[in-house]
Structure 1
């Protein structure tokens, strides 16, 4: 369990996180959503230790990461996998070298043992023929899968993904969503995904945190979201006709058709 208590973060005179408190549920896909500038990526970087909050606690199994010393943080980070928005691959390294990099940095495995693990995770993300290719020689979707493979190489307990579908076409985005969900379920990984992709929300939103102006505005799952009465959340999620229709269909399927309140704020 990861628990945040009253986390605040500012840059100069701008307060981005204004007292965020929440639980990240273990073994599930936890999605952080919100408009641009709501604090999603800053929150993620605080949770993984890239930013240090001015106030608050970030508890991993009850231990506050904010108060950890350098050695303790280094040990914790070995249980964390991170998929960055731009994949963050090394251009001069091949796919297998990129994936092996964390092992070279943090393990004393033999060359053969490292290769075995690299082969395994590349097969897991369906990239068995890409070992010797450079990042410039593969597609955006393949780069994301390489990033996922690298994030898995140390068998992390926690997996963090920052906008994993950014810049991808809809079909590839669905494949990435499916892969992240499969990994979460197979390894019982605690997964945290920052996203603005509403298809991702519907596909893998076991636990959803909606941020608004640096605060947690709403929490729930991808079923409860169809019945939310939070006006700000509804304006954000159901802005398009497509998701308005999806909401209506879900309510009909659940035996709870729309009431005659469509003209009320927050009702669609």
Structure 2
């Protein structure tokens, strides 16, 4: 479980996060949603240490990440898998080497052991035999799946995913959502997904934090979001569904 307590973050005079608290539970898809500029990606980056919060705490199973030294944080980082918005694959590396990159950084496994793990992860995302391809040879959906394979290579307890369906068509988006859902359940991970995709919200949103103007405005499940009386949530849901319908007609 991950707990965030009263997280604040500003950049100069831009006050982005204004005291956000919440729980992200094991074995569940925990979604952070909100409009552009609501603070959702900044919150995710504070949780994984890419930004330092100005105030507040991030606790991984009771361990206060924000109070640890860089050296002490390494042990928690070994337990974290991360899928960035644009997959963030290394262009000069093959698929195989991209997946083994965290293993090279954090383990003393032999080359054979790393390759065995890479092959397993590739099979788990249905990309068997794609080891020697380079990112430039992959479709957008394949890049996302390689990114997921790399994210699970260390068998993480915590999986962070930033806009997994950005730039993907609706059918590929469903495949990615289902894969994230399956892996979360299979490995009992604490999965945190930042998204603005209402299909993802309704499909896998077991626990949802809705942010607006840097504050947590609502928390609940995908079953509850359709029936909330919160006007900001309703405006977001309506606008998101309208925008998606418009894009699908193009």
TM-score (norm 1): 0.89
Deviation by residue 1:102-152 (Cα, 9 ceiling, x = unmatched)? 111111111111111000000000000211000001101000000000000
After TM superposition, the structure 1 = structure 2 runs for residues 39-50 of structure 1, keeping only pairs within 5 Å, are 39-50=39-50
**What's the counterpart of residue 21 of structure 1?**
21
Q: How far is 1:238 from its partner?
A: 2.2
Instruction: Report the Cα distance in structure 2 between the residues aligned to 1:188 and 1:10, rounded to whole angstroms.
Output: 33
Instruction: Report the Cα distance in structure 1 between the residues aligned to 2:149 and 2:117, rounded to whole angstroms.
Output: 10
Moved over 4 A (4+): 240-243
Where 2:202 maps in the other structure, the secondary structure is helix
Instruction: Report the Cα distance in structure 2 between the residues aligned to 1:27 and 1:48, rounded to whole angstroms.
Output: 18
Decide which structure has the larger Cα Rg and report it: 1
After TM superposition, the structure 1 = structure 2 runs for residues 194-233 of structure 1, keeping only pairs within 5 Å, are 194-233=194-233
Where 2:26 maps in the other structure, the secondary structure is coil
CA contact (8 A) 2:206 2:221 kept: yes
Where 1:146 maps in the other structure, the secondary structure is helix
Distance 1:242 1:86, change over 3 A: closer
Where 1:90 maps in the other structure, the secondary structure is coil
Q: How far is 1:241 from its partner?
A: 6.7
**What's the counterpart of residue 66 of structure 1?**
66
Distance 1:240 1:33, change over 3 A: closer
**What's the counterpart of residue 101 of structure 2?**
101
**What's the counterpart of residue 85 of structure 2?**
85
**What's the counterpart of residue 239 of structure 1?**
239
Deviation by residue 1:64-100 (Cα, 9 ceiling, x = unmatched)? 1111012210110000000000100010100001001
**What's the counterpart of residue 127 of structure 2?**
127
Instruction: Report the Cα distance in structure 1 between the residues aligned to 2:53 and 2:143, rounded to whole angstroms.
Output: 31
Where 1:223 maps in the other structure, the secondary structure is helix
Where 2:222 maps in the other structure, the secondary structure is coil
Instruction: Report the Cα distance in structure 1 between the residues aligned to 2:161 and 2:241, rounded to whole angstroms.
Output: 28
Q: RMSD in angstroms over aligned alpha carbons?
A: 1.2
Between the two proteins, the alignment pairs up a number of residues equal to 243
After TM superposition, the structure 1 = structure 2 runs for residues 30-41 of structure 1, keeping only pairs within 5 Å, are 30-41=30-41
Where 1:88 maps in the other structure, the secondary structure is coil
Instruction: Report the Cα distance in structure 1 between the residues aligned to 2:23 and 2:148, rounded to whole angstroms.
Output: 24
Instruction: Report the Cα distance in structure 2 between the residues aligned to 1:217 and 1:68, rounded to whole angstroms.
Output: 29
Distance 1:37 1:178, change over 3 A: same
Q: How far is 1:240 from its partner?
A: 6.2
Instruction: Report the Cα distance in structure 2 between the residues aligned to 1:199 and 1:213, rounded to whole angstroms.
Output: 23
Distance 1:122 1:241, change over 3 A: closer
Instruction: Report the Cα distance in structure 2 between the residues aligned to 1:45 and 1:224, rounded to whole angstroms.
Output: 27
Instruction: Report the Cα distance in structure 1 between the residues aligned to 2:111 and 2:240, rounded to whole angstroms.
Output: 52
Distance 1:240 1:47, change over 3 A: closer
